Chains A and B, each alone.
Chain A
Amino acid sequence: MTLRALKDAAITALVALGLFVPLVGLRTDVGPSGELVLRQRWGDVVILVALAFVGRLALLGWRGWRGDPKPASAARTEALRKAGLFVAPVLLGLAVLLPFIPGTGRYELDLGILVLTYVMLGWGLNIVVGLAGLLDLGYVAFYAVGAYSYALLATTFGLSFWICLPLAGLLAAFWGVLLGFPVLRLRGDYLAIVTLAFGEIIRVVLLNWVSLTNGPNGISGIPRPTFFGLTFSMSGEPDTFAGFFGIEPSPVHRVIFLYYLILGLALLTNWVSIRLRRQPLGRAWEALREDEIACRALGINVTTTKLTAFALGAMFAGIAGSFFATRQGFISPESFTFIESAIILAIVVLGGMGSQIGIAIAALVMIGGFEVFRDLDEWRMLVFGGAMVLIMVARPRGLVGHRTPSVVLRERRAIGAEHVAEGHG
């Protein structure tokens, strides 16, 4: 046992050595007179390799001590479900009250808006990935479509935010259907690759179609949202928010308004997902994730069912996109890179595919944590990568891996993660 572990750790160290010699051991720097000099850092390599060796040994030791991981017992799954019932209202209450909690300033509200945007995106993508089991790596494309739809409609035609919001959602859904039609015949990895490419294509088009999108310079001067026609300007006129309600004008009003706006939109996403999950359409999505062939044998039109999931997910991304545009006042293709898709997908997977509360917590921890640890600079990515790996090792099905039945005859009991399928595309 110990010998095996030592051998295993030695192999790990060897692999680490092979990796770190070129990556860390050799480094080119610009010398004093502008020429390249090769610097050797063998000390660092030794430290890293030793770390890999010790780390692997510790991991093996821990595994041996803990024994084989067993699926969470029914009782534990059940306890977790009950805890979720309790945590969800608390989190919701906190979210609603946040602007009034003493000590909440501009920074906290901005962070709250950011987190809620990702919560909404996570819930939207959850329809596609978590419920229907379709791996979509290009989700940010629909976010971009929504953002540009609002920006262009508002700056060219002067349409108001409240008209553009549903329009942006519909346009994104339309693109979702357009992409979905040819693509949804593909399964698993192939679907993932094509959606990934689609996300990049949209970004490249936005970059290069300069006459429409202004290319890399982006679109600026996007109208800010109004409170049912009342603007948030500082002038205090009767047609502004502050003037109408007779309060002191303050820049925080707009931030609070934006905060509640995204909270409302996120909750709408949540409400629709939860309602749909208990209905034939949502059940068909989950059935599709579990077994597509059985669905076909039951007379379910697999293509249209997948398309509705794709379109609905895209719609919520589009709505979130137009919120993003109105909040920033400026958008450019920079904001819609692949890393955004990856972050949203990570939120869904880490939170537990299909679980609303799990995704909310994952978004809070990931996005909030990302901001809070800003001081760590480049170590931030490393810390988060490590944290994600740890979560996936400890809870391979995400924070909340169990599934709650959509309909019950007698008593509602959670379904353990070991039974629930991830879907194959």
Chain B
Amino acid sequence: MATPILETDTLTMRFGGLVAVDAVTFTAQRDDITAIIGPNGAGKTTLFNCITGFYRPTGGALRLFRDGAPVELHHLAGHRIARAGVARTFQNIRLFPGMTALENLLVAQHNTLMASTGFGIGALLGAPRYRRAQKAAIAKAVHWLEVTDLLARADDPAGALPYGQQRRLEIARAMCTDPLLLCLDEPAAGLNPRESEELSALLRMIRDGGCSILLIEHDMGVVMGISDRIVVLDHGRKIADGTPGEVRADPRVIAAYLGEGDEGEDAA
């Protein structure tokens, strides 16, 4: 059970004098949902940006365990990290608003599709290999549209979807890259209670399908309900790390996070 998928080792990110992530060390286990919580400005999104290659960490190491062998993520360019198997969603949704839901999911499969085009020439001339790849890509997209209950909106522009559906589409798009690790930045923000319930079910399903999840979330209902493990950050430091029960009982967490919890949940 306890094989790691991602390990951070004294990961540090500085912006000038501000230490947004301060020597954070934790391990996310394979087939777990690991939640990262903390008050606003704790450095959660910055940590994600380091993991997914949008920031180059000032110090420390990041390792992704792919088939047992570690991949040193902090050496890779952003798009290579995604190819290594780390997918993410954004705190403020980043879809391709002028493209349809289906197109969004096909862009996510760019690399597999590109490999079948024969430098574009084969695809230009309609080679059968490319047609098969395209068919498979559409089938995968349809699968994820079904799972996220968006099949009816497949041909609508992503920008025209209501907020909750955009959130789900972003998750579907990330899943279309066949990730080992899915990083979700506040996926429940702005959802109503029923949608949050559905989101929890979706995330459990994704985990049971063999994709580990790293979850930033302010909605404690969602976090406590589905997380296998919780890491708590405050002012860039890790202040607690354990099961939901342990974290809930940790006095430092109560002081740092739940003390400000009202404010945090209002902001979310």
Check A298–B114 contact: CB distance below 8 A.
Answer: no
Which chain B residues numbered 121 to 135 have a C-beta less than 8 Å away from chain A?
123-124, 130
Check B102–A409 contact: CB distance below 8 A.
Answer: yes
Closest to B98 in A: A420
Determine how close the nearest CB of chain A comes to the CB of B160; give it in whole angstroms.
Answer: 6
With the chains together, A403 CA to B114 CA distance in Å? 23
Is the CB of A136 closer than 8 A to any CB of chain B?
Answer: no
Check A287–B99 contact: CB distance below 8 A.
Answer: yes
The residues of A that contact B117 with a CB separation of less than 8 Å are: 279-281
Task: Bin the interface of chain A by size.
Answer: 35 or more
The residues of A that contact B124 with a CB separation of less than 8 Å are: 272, 275-276, 279
Check A286–B99 contact: CB distance below 8 A.
Answer: yes
Check A296–B78 contact: CB distance below 8 A.
Answer: yes
Check A410–B79 contact: CB distance below 8 A.
Answer: no
Check B155–A298 contact: CB distance below 8 A.
Answer: no
The residues of B that contact A409 with a CB separation of less than 8 Å are: 102, 138, 142, 151, 154-155
Is the CB of B95 closer than 8 A to any CB of chain A?
Answer: yes
Which chain B residues numbered 105 to 129 have a C-beta less than 8 Å away from chain A?
106-111, 113-114, 117, 120, 123-124
Q: How many residues of B contact A (CB 8 A)?
A: 46
Check B120–A276 contact: CB distance below 8 A.
Answer: yes
Check A290–B54 contact: CB distance below 8 A.
Answer: no
Is the CB of B242 closer than 8 A to any CB of chain A?
Answer: no
Q: DSSP majority for the B interface?
A: helix
CB within 8 Å for A283 and B123 given contacts A409-B142, A421-B98:
no
Is the CB of B26 closer than 8 A to any CB of chain A?
Answer: no
Is the CB of A22 closer than 8 A to any CB of chain B?
Answer: no
Check B95–A291 contact: CB distance below 8 A.
Answer: yes
Check A281–B120 contact: CB distance below 8 A.
Answer: yes
Instruction: Specify which of A279, A291, A297, A406 is in contact with B123 (CB 8 Å cutoff).
Output: A279
Is the CB of B55 closer than 8 A to any CB of chain A?
Answer: no
Determine how close the nearest CB of chain B comes to the CB of A21; give it in whole angstroms.
Answer: 46
Closest to A295 in B: B107
Check B97–A300 contact: CB distance below 8 A.
Answer: no
Which chain A residues numbered 261 to 317 have a C-beta less than 8 Å away from chain B?
272, 275-276, 279-281, 283-284, 286-287, 290-291, 293-302, 308
The residues of A that contact B83 with a CB separation of less than 8 Å are: 299
Instruction: Specify which of A296, A408, A415, A418 is in contact with B79 (CB 8 Å cutoff).
Output: A296
The residues of A that contact B158 with a CB separation of less than 8 Å are: 419
9 shortest interchain CB distances as A-B pairs? A299-B82, A420-B98, A419-B159, A290-B96, A280-B113, A294-B94, A409-B154, A287-B107, A299-B83
Residues of B bordering A, CB below 8 Å: 52-54, 78-80, 82-83, 87-88, 90, 94-100, 102-103, 106-111, 113-114, 117, 120, 123-124, 130, 138, 142, 151, 154-160, 173-174, 177
Residues of A bordering B, CB below 8 Å: 272, 275-276, 279-281, 283-284, 286-287, 290-291, 293-302, 308, 403, 405-413, 415-416, 418-421
- Additional pairs, 4, CB under 8 Å, beyond known A279-B130, A294-B95: A284-B110, A286-B98, A287-B96, A299-B177
